Structure 1
Amino acid sequence: MPIEIRRAAVADAETVLMLLLELAAYQDQQQYVQSTVADWRRFLGREDVIVLLAEVDGEPAGYVSSLRRPYLWVGGDQLALDDLYVRDQYRDGGVGRQLMLALAREALPDRLPIAWGLQLENTAGYRFYERLGARLVTKTAASWSPDVYAGLLDQDG
């Protein structure tokens, strides 16, 4: 199956959000998605937001999203991979690999490292990334919601 990869444009906002919602449902995390089509139109208009869409026969097959941001330890930038998602019917057909290679092509001119997080229970993901030659390091991700830290600030005066 021929896979076409292209950078998502502002006009693709609805498709990108649809794929993101599918990913969230797949991970049983749809309750955390708050972004809207309007948000995605704004994101896709930014140079530092890179979303690559995979299409097979004109149908969306998956996407990879990343954000170019400073990497303070190296004194330069990195691509922070946010999501890699391939729709179920296109898995094991090379779509994920092609998306990752397309992201690498985006990073190569400036020799940007690409970094991402991975859930520990995602054993298929671990195998996939290892086949690409990625170095996998166990690290716990933490998040601090505004509701929680605002409450602490209120208590602290």
Structure 2
Amino acid sequence: MNNGPKDLEVNIRSTDETDIPLIMRFIKELADFEKLSDTVVATEEDLKRSLFGERPYAEAVIAEIDGSPAGFMIFFHNFTAYVGKPGIYIEGIYVDPAYRGSGVGEALMKYCAGIAKERGCGTMNWCVLDWNPARKFYERLGAKPESDWVVYTLDEKGISELVESKNDRTT
């Protein structure tokens, strides 16, 4: 982790369609950092449709320092049944290595927390790989790891197989 200059003014801004190439670049850099580059199948057209289409499914924001992109966050609403309120799920947060330690990550998290509070959300959630040093950062912000829950994922193939399967599966 680099220790960039502290106390730089971080500007967080909403995105529009002109930001799609930058968002795609940050997604690829995040995947590279997480050693998951081979899983990136998203295209700029996918992002255009999902972030800015007729029914946007997620929101993205860009963090800038002196007008230069320093990081990004993608998030969407979920619902927390036990709380009875919407929540925000952070799908991706990434800070360019040149700006790590400069307050960019904290600014992104505070921005998202502000949105959650403004929208009456009861939770903010995200997943972090167990080896990621950012875990210490999140815990310093007051987040707690959920050790009792296991995350499950169905990929596109698994979704199709489930839809097309007969009702012969047992639990």
TM-score by length of 2: 0.81
Distance 1:76 1:47, change over 3 A: farther
Between the aligned residues of both structures, percent identity stands at 27
Alignment of 1:56-75 (within 5 A): 56-75=65-84
Structure-2 separation of matches of 1:69 and 1:57? 33
Structure 1 gap segments, 5+ residues each: none
Structure 2 gap segments, 5+ residues each: 1-7
- Is 1:117 equivalent to 2:127 in the alignment? yes
> What one-letter code is carried by the residue in structure 2 that aligns with 1:56?
I
Counterpart of 2:94 (choices 85, 91, 103) is: 85
8 A contact 1:13–1:40 mirrored in 2: yes
Counterpart of 1:8 (choices 12, 15, 19) is: 15
8 A contact 2:72–2:95 mirrored in 1: yes
Q: Which residue of 2 is the match for residue 53 of structure 1?
A: 62
Distance 1:78 1:40, change over 3 A: same
How far is 1:108 from its partner? 0.9
How far is 1:4 from its partner? 1.1
> What one-letter code is carried by the residue in structure 2 that aligns with 1:53?
I
Structure-2 separation of matches of 1:109 and 1:47? 19
8 A contact 1:19–1:85 mirrored in 2: yes
Distance 1:31 1:70, change over 3 A: same
Aligned residues: 156
RMSD over aligned Cα, in angstroms?
A: 2.3
8 A contact 1:5–1:54 mirrored in 2: yes
How far is 1:12 from its partner? 0.9
| Post-superposition CA distance 1:36-68 (Å, at most 9, x none) | 111112222255522111011222110111111
Structure-2 separation of matches of 1:48 and 1:76? 18
| Structure 1 runs of 4+ with >6 Å offset | none
- Is 1:102 equivalent to 2:111 in the alignment? yes
Q: Which residue of 1 is the match for residue 3 of structure 2?
A: none
Structure-1 separation of matches of 2:119 and 2:67? 31
8 A contact 2:23–2:72 mirrored in 1: yes
Distance 1:64 1:5, change over 3 A: same
Distance 1:146 1:54, change over 3 A: closer
Relative contact order, higher structure (CA 8 A, sep 6+): 2
8 A contact 1:52–1:103 mirrored in 2: no
- Is 1:27 equivalent to 2:34 in the alignment? yes
Structure 1 or 2: more helix by fraction? 1
